[in-house]
Structure 1
Amino acid sequence: MPADLEEKTDRYERMLADALDEAEIGAPAGTPLGETAAECREMAVSYLDDGRHFRETGDPVNALAAYSYGYGWLDAGVRMGLFVVPEETTLFTV
């Protein structure tokens, strides 16, 4: 049975919000890697905000897409070493 759109959108919103709470920039501010990490984080936050806007306006498909893109920015940043995450986390594909 396919996942319910509302349930999946809720899950991805929580996942992105939790990922933002866990991922810490792993390079000093002002360095090239620190700036890149800050930009990735900013994109993830923007997609979270966009997703919430889409949900408020009754557009769950674009909300889910926004949450997915935001999470992708963070997950890619973790894999590239831009972010430090707890070892026990299950939120990232590391």
Structure 2
Amino acid sequence: MADIEEKTDRYEDLLAEALSAATVAPPAGTPMADAAAECEEMARSYLDDGRHFRSEGDLVNALASFSYGHAWLDAGARIGLFDVPTDGHLFTV
């Protein structure tokens, strides 16, 4: 079983890599593009929050933040808000 420090590292890397790989799919200026931007902002905010919690030594909340951030991206990808790689480990699409 992975310890919390290793798991937190893994989830932080996963979220950061997923943010880099996801691109907004709907055309700019549409309500769906606005929704994608909001999902991306939430994911970035959770990445920032997780890094803050980690710097404070709070690995439980850091891991939760990284997990929630990735969930925002993954859900957005599943409903077509993001173009994402379909192979590999970043998304469940």
Runs (4 or more) in structure 1 with deviation over 4 Å come to none
Structure 1 position 90 matched with structure 2 position 84: no
Normalising to structure 2: TM-score of the pair? 0.96
Amino acid at match of 2:27: P
Amino acid at match of 1:42: E
Corresponding residue for residue 28 of structure 2: 29
Normalising to structure 1: TM-score of the pair? 0.95
Q: Give per-residue Cα distances to partners, 1:9-45, cap 9 Å, x unaligned.
A: 0000000000000010001222000000000000000
- Provide the identity percentage: 67
Corresponding residue for residue 60 of structure 1: 59
SS at match of 1:30: coil
Corresponding residue for residue 46 of structure 1: 45
Contact 2:36/2:76 (8 A) holds in 1: yes
Amino acid at match of 2:24: I
Contact 2:85/2:91 (8 A) holds in 1: no
Gap regions ≥5 residues in structure 2:
none
RMSD: 0.9
Number of aligned residue pairs: 93
Corresponding residue for residue 3 of structure 2: 4
Corresponding residue for residue 70 of structure 1: 69
